[in-house]
Amino acid sequence: MTKYINGLVLICVIAIFSGFLGDWLMQWFQLEALTIAIIMGILVSNVVSLPGSFKPGIDYALKKLLIYGIILLGFKLNFEAILGLGWTLILWIIAYMLFVFFAVYILNRYMPVGSKLAALIGVGSSVCGAAAVIALAPTIEADEEDAVIAVSIVSFLGAVGVIVYAMVASVVSISDVRFGVWSGLTLHGVAHAMAGAFSRGTLSGEIGTFVKMTRVLMLVPVSLALSLAFSKHISTKKRAKVPGYVWLFILMGILNATGIVPELGVTVAKELSNVFILMAMTAMGLGVNFKDIKGKGVKAILFGGILFTITSSVAFLLISKGLMV
């Protein structure tokens, strides 16, 4: 564990300071500690040249602590609010994902970046960010360069999206439930969706997490669809798997609903979830480096930005008008 110390200590310092800053700012406007931690992480990453010894701890928080936080977040699941959304929400999620890939197809015709790179950006935008890109790149036998570019773009846009959504959260008049659906539906990675949704409050965060987990479950059908679409250009067919933490997240929610877990255990699980997720969000900010993004190709970044703007705006319009939720 010694190799993780430097990064984890830095994360803890930023996270704690973000909590105090959030409380202080509360007298003027609401800005969640999660959002502040991400912004501070980005600032530190791009202003200070961190030694390589910090990277293992930052990676550990983003890859491991985030997963632990998501699993324990299952104890916060509000099944009453989720069931109130109705089964039609799942159909809307599928429809949104199809819309993203349709937009990718149209954009790639007028702003060509390559079919495989476009597909990977679409995967990262519609399923679960960088994790989906990494999982599905072998499915279409994408070049390593395309995978790296797609990961960089969706990670960057997701982080920017969290900040934008946090600002929008304080001015839009839609309900917390609808804001949670919008965040969970449109933001790129799991961490992004959760940070964006929780910027509006606990209920919004819980709904956003559920919607995002539903999107993650679509990893397998999307993998099959891409295998079919690129069947003429690939020699093997590899199928992605749904991450195990999704099932554990649902299991924790069911356990909590049964009431068999002691109240103290539930309280501890919820608090640990808060801590792990805050640390993961801080690590996500520390992982954003503008110099790396700049070198990945202006055209591809513009492609991803336009895609995100269009799909997010259309989803917000439908949700705000009550057509989707």
pLDDT tens digit sequence for 73-128: 888 776 666 767 777 888 899 999 999 999 999 999 999 988 899 999 999 999 88
Place of tokens 């700049």: 294
Residues in the chain: 325
Measured from the Cβ of residue 201, the count of other Cβ atoms closer than 10 Å reads 15
- At residue 227, the pLDDT reads 79
The confidence band for 237, taking pLDDT boundaries of 50, 70 and 90, is low
Closest to 99 measured CA to CA, from 122, 116, 76 = 122
The answer on pLDDT for 152 being more than 60 is: yes
Contact in structure between 43 and 14 (CB atoms under 8 Å): no
In a domain, 62, yes or no: yes
Q: Which residue has the higher pLDDT, 137 or 208?
A: 208
* Residue 25: CA count within 13 A, CB half-sphere: 13
In a domain, 325, yes or no: no
**Token representation of residue 264:** 């103290």
Measure the CA dihedral 319/104/219/180, to 10°.
-20
The confidence band for 50, taking pLDDT boundaries of 50, 70 and 90, is confident
Mean pLDDT in residue range 211-228: 84
- At residue 307, the pLDDT reads 96
Share of the chain above pLDDT 70, in %: 90
CB within 8 A of 154, min separation 6: which ones?
121, 124, 125, 129, 130, 133, 188, 189, 304
In a domain, 39, yes or no: yes
Share of the chain above pLDDT 90, in %: 27
Measured from the Cβ of residue 233, the count of other Cβ atoms closer than 10 Å reads 10
The confidence band for 240, taking pLDDT boundaries of 50, 70 and 90, is low
The confidence band for 30, taking pLDDT boundaries of 50, 70 and 90, is low
- At residue 164, the pLDDT reads 92
How many whole angstroms separate alpha carbon 129 and alpha carbon 155? 7
How many whole angstroms separate alpha carbon 215 and alpha carbon 283? 23
- At residue 238, the pLDDT reads 59
Q: What is the mean pLDDT of the chain?
A: 85
In a domain, 84, yes or no: yes
The answer on pLDDT for 149 being more than 60 is: yes
Question: How many domains, in total, are found in the chain?
Answer: 1
Give the three-class secondary structure for 77.
Answer: coil
Q: What is the pLDDT of residues 250-299, one digit of tens each?
A: 888 888 888 898 989 989 998 998 888 889 888 888 887 777 666 557 78
In a domain, 87, yes or no: yes
The confidence band for 48, taking pLDDT boundaries of 50, 70 and 90, is confident
Which DSSP string do the residues of 246-312 spell out, in sequence order?
A: HHHHHHHHHHHHHT-S-HHHHHHHHHHHHHHHHHHHHHHHHT--HHHHHTT-HHHHHHHHHHHHHHH
Q: What residue numbers bound the domain in which 84 lies? A: 2-320
- At residue 294, the pLDDT reads 63
Query: Would you give the end-to-end CA distance of the chain in angstroms?
Result: 45
Q: Which of 6-20, 39-53, 77-91, 234-248 has the lowest mean pLDDT?
A: 234-248
In a domain, 256, yes or no: yes
The answer on pLDDT for 156 being more than 60 is: yes
In a domain, 74, yes or no: yes
In a domain, 264, yes or no: yes
Q: Which residue has the higher pLDDT, 12 or 152?
A: 12
CB within 8 A of 115, min separation 6: which ones?
108, 230
